[in-house]
Amino acid sequence: MSSYAKRLWLEEDLGDDYRWSYRVSAVLFSGRSSYQEVDLVDTPTWGKVLLLDGKMQSTEADEQVYHELLVHPPLLHHPNPKRVFIMGGGEGATAREVLRHRSVEEVVMVDIDKVVTDFCAEHLERNKSAFRDPRLRLINDDARSQLEAAPDSCFDIIISDLADPLEGGPCYQLYTQEFYKNVVLRKLAPGGIFVTQSGPAGILSCREVFTAINATLRSVFPSVVPYAQHIPSFCDAWGYNMSFTDPKQVPLSAELFDAQIEDRISSLPLSFLDGATFTGLRQLNKTVRTALAEETEVYTISTARFIHGGGVKMSA
């Protein structure tokens, strides 16, 4: 890709008949692991951009939005989170946010691709401290097998920061009812909380996977809280689902949410998330609320849905 660096535009398919593009000012790394293509590019708008198999994973400009929303709601809702399991998260940003919580004693992060984790530990400045933190135990292996091998009831929080459920890819099996019921639920300690990124959640895209993931979780957990936020580099609202094992657990008020941040999180303040913001993110628009209410299909191995979109194409 480097020969195109000075005149390169990268295009990413967002659907069957539309795509978006952005200009690249430099190609900082381009390689391939046993599992996927790995690229790091510099862009005028987004700063450094990490690409896996040609799909934008995160950007310097707005990655903190995605990761703060994935990590802090479940940890702030738990009374005393000590042990956290991360599925995926190879770039290290999810672990970085988890490790900001003073109560956390151990983070087990399992990402299958050692090339990605080694590369991100070396090149992504924001995340270097997470990889060096003694509380982090990084395992390069299959997330499902590692979680299955863990003792039952051993994690306070389980975070799914996996790739989107793509047709032909292995990750869709980790969005299924079978996995949530037979693995995730069993490994959570009493009062444990599970959160997963859940794909696009806009008015035109929410039925791709967001509503089905929500319905699947509701078939397993007694209480599920969906929320969403527009993420500029994803060109859409992005959905999350936070699942409680305690049926009496309810979302925190904005005031208590802010008090938990003040009491529990060390170092710099959160850049995006606070109590008022999280309260607002749970107020989904009517179109998305209707789609969630109407959804009846749950993910199984044989009935999975897949997300649209494709990798990067180069053009001068």
DSSP string, 94-144: HHHHHTTBTT--EEEEE-S-HHHHHHHHHH-GGGHHHHH-TTEEEE-S-HH
Residue 185 contacts residue 155 (beta carbons within 8 Å)? no
Residue 224 contacts residue 217 (beta carbons within 8 Å)? yes
Whether pLDDT at 219 is above 80: yes
Catalytic residue check, 161: yes
* Token pair in block for residue 197: 């990124």
**Which span out of 209-213, 297-301, 310-314 was modeled with the highest average pLDDT?**
209-213
Which residue among 161, 164, 236, 246 is the active-site one? Answer: 161
Whether pLDDT at 310 is above 70: no
Q: What is the DSSP letter of 251?
A: P
Q: How far apart are CA 154 and CA 88, in angstroms?
A: 19
Share of the chain above pLDDT 90, in %: 79
Whether pLDDT at 78 is above 70: yes
Share of the chain above pLDDT 70, in %: 93
- pLDDT tens profile 277-293: 999 999 999 999 999 99
Domains of the chain: 2-60+309-315 (2.30.140.10), 63-294 (3.40.50.150)
pTM: 0.94
For residues 125-131, average pLDDT: 96
Residue 156 contacts residue 83 (beta carbons within 8 Å)? yes
Specify the pLDDT at position 112. 94
Residue 258 contacts residue 275 (beta carbons within 8 Å)? yes
Q: How far apart are CA 180 and CA 158, in angstroms?
A: 11
- Tokens 């990413």 belong to 12
Residue 22 contacts residue 235 (beta carbons within 8 Å)? no
